A and B are shown apart, each in its own frame.
Chain A
C-alpha cells in the first residue's frame, strides 16, 4: 500500500493528534490492566475485609491470616496461570508478579525480625499489648499500598491515588481510632480495593 501524501498540518491538528495519542495510550493501558489487575484487587480486597474484620473481633490473628494469605496466594497463582490466555503476552506480566513476590519476601523478613515469635500468644499480649498487632497491620497495608503507588506510576495514575488514599486513611485510623483500627482497615482498605477492582472491571475494558 502506497502511503497517502500528507497535507500541511496546523498547530491545532498537531495538538489534537498528540492528545489522541495520549488518550489511546491511556485507554490501552487500562484495557490491559482491567484483565489482570481487577481480579487481583477484588481477591485481595475481599481477603482484607474478612481478615481485618476477624482480627477486630477474635484473637489469634496470626493463625487465620496465615490461612487467608495462603488461600490468596493459591488463587493469585491460579489467576496468573489463567491469564496466559490473556490478550497480552510479554516480559512485563512476569516482572509485575516477580516484583510482588520480592516485596512480600521483604515484608515477611521484616515482620519476622520485628515480631516476638518466641513468645506464646498470651505472653506476647501481656508484653506488648495490642499496639504491636496494630503496627503490624499498618505496616502490611502501607507496604502493599506503596506497591500500588509504584505500579500507578507505570500503569495508570488511578492506582497511584488509590494507594495514597488507602495509606492516608490507614494512618488516620491508626492515630484517631486505634481501638477500631482493624475494622477501619477492613472497610477503608479492603472496601476500596474491591470497589476499585469492580469499577476497573466494568469501565476499563
Chain B
C-alpha cells in the first residue's frame, strides 16, 4: 500500500515536486522560472529546495550562463518514485476514506 510522503506533503514542496514532475525525465528547470510560476519568493523556494535536495528527491546544479549565475533544478528518479507513491496514496484516500496511509 502506498504511503503519504512527509517531505512532499508540505504544500510548497508538493507544488515544487508537481511542477518538476510535469517535465520530461532528465529536464532541468531554472530556479527563477520555478519560483515565478509557483509564486514563491527566492528565500522560501531556496529553503524548500534544500529540504528536497537533502532527501535526494531533487538535484540542484549551479552554473554561469554569459557570466550570470544560474541555478537549475531537476527531479531525481528517487524523487519521481516517491512522488508517484504519494499521489497513489492520495488516490487511495479518495477511494477508501479511512485508509491507514499516514
Establish whether residues A90 and B28, one from each chain, have CB atoms under 8 Å apart when the complex forms. yes
Give, as a whole number of angstroms, the nearest-CB distance from B99 to chain A. Answer: 10
Stretch binding the partner chain, chosen from A28-36, A101-109, A134-142, A163-171: A28-36
Other than A1-B47, A24-B22, give 7 A-B pairs with Cβ distance below 8 A: A11-B97, A20-B15, A25-B19, A27-B19, A28-B19, A90-B26, A92-B27
Do A1 and B102 form a contact, CB below 8 Å, given A18-B87, A88-B29? Answer: no
- 7 interchain pairs, CB-CB under 8 A: A3-B7, A17-B14, A20-B14, A25-B18, A31-B33, A92-B23, A92-B24
Expressed in whole angstroms, the Cα–Cα distance for A26 and B18 within the complex equals 10
Q: Which residues of A does B touch, CB under 8 Å?
A: 1, 3-6, 8-11, 14-15, 17-18, 20-21, 24-29, 31-32, 85, 87-92
Which residue of the partner chain B has the closest CB to A31?
B37
Which residue of the partner chain A has the closest CB to B13?
A3
Which of A14, A21, A88, A89 makes the CB contact (< 8 A) with B93?
A14
Q: Taking chain B's interface residues, is the majority helix, strand, or loop, or is none over half, making it mixed?
A: helix
Give, as a whole number of angstroms, the nearest-CB distance from B39 to chain A. Answer: 10
Expressed in whole angstroms, the Cα–Cα distance for A183 and B6 within the complex equals 59
Task: Give the size of the chain B interface in residues (CB under 8 angstroms).
Answer: 38
Expressed in whole angstroms, the Cα–Cα distance for A3 and B13 within the complex equals 11
Residue B1 is within 8 A (CB to CB) of chain A in the complex: no
Once A and B bind, how many residue pairs between them come within 8 Å at the CB atom?
A: 95
Residue B4 is within 8 A (CB to CB) of chain A in the complex: yes
Establish whether residues B21 and A3, one from each chain, have CB atoms under 8 Å apart when the complex forms. no
Q: Chain A residues near B30 (CB, 8 Å)?
A: 87-88
Expressed in whole angstroms, the Cα–Cα distance for A10 and B50 within the complex equals 29
Give, as a whole number of angstroms, the nearest-CB distance from B40 to chain A. Answer: 12
Expressed in whole angstroms, the Cα–Cα distance for A15 and B95 within the complex equals 10
Establish whether residues A15 and B94, one from each chain, have CB atoms under 8 Å apart when the complex forms. yes
Which of B4, B10, B47, B74 makes the CB contact (< 8 A) with A9?
B4
Establish whether residues B15 and A90, one from each chain, have CB atoms under 8 Å apart when the complex forms. no
Which residue of the partner chain A has the closest CB to B52?
A1
Which residue of the partner chain A has the closest CB to B92?
A14
Q: Chain A residues near B9 (CB, 8 Å)?
A: 3, 6
Expressed in whole angstroms, the Cα–Cα distance for A89 and B26 within the complex equals 9
Residue B32 is within 8 A (CB to CB) of chain A in the complex: yes
Residue B85 is within 8 A (CB to CB) of chain A in the complex: no
